[in-house]
Amino acid sequence: MEVAFEGIAYEKLPLVDLDVPVSTSNSNRGKTSGISSDERIAQDTADADNILKLIAVCPNSHIKDILSPEEKYIIENRFNIRKANSAGMAGIGMRNNGMRKPHYTRLLIFEKNLIFQAACCLPLKLIAAGIDGNIVYGRTLYTIHSDENGGKLVYEFMGKGAEVIIDLKRGESTKVQRLIFLCDKNK
Domain coordinates in residue numbering, the chain: 12-24+36-182
How far is the C-alpha of 8 from the C-alpha of 139, rounded, in Å? 9
pLDDT over 50 (residue 42):
yes
User: Which backbone phi and psi does 107 adopt, to 5 degrees?
Assistant: -120, 125
- pLDDT tens by residue, 3-29: 766 677 788 888 898 888 888 765 555
The pLDDT score that the predictor gives to residue 78 is: 57
Q: What is the pTM of this model?
A: 0.79
* Average pLDDT of the chain, as a whole number: 81
The pLDDT score that the predictor gives to residue 152 is: 94
Write the DSSP assignment of 76-144 as a string of letters.
Answer: E--S--PPP-HHHHTT--SEETTEEPP-EEEEEE-SS-EEEEEEESS-EEEEEEEETTB-EEEEEEEEE
Question: In terms of pLDDT, which residue wins out, 86 or 102?
Answer: 102
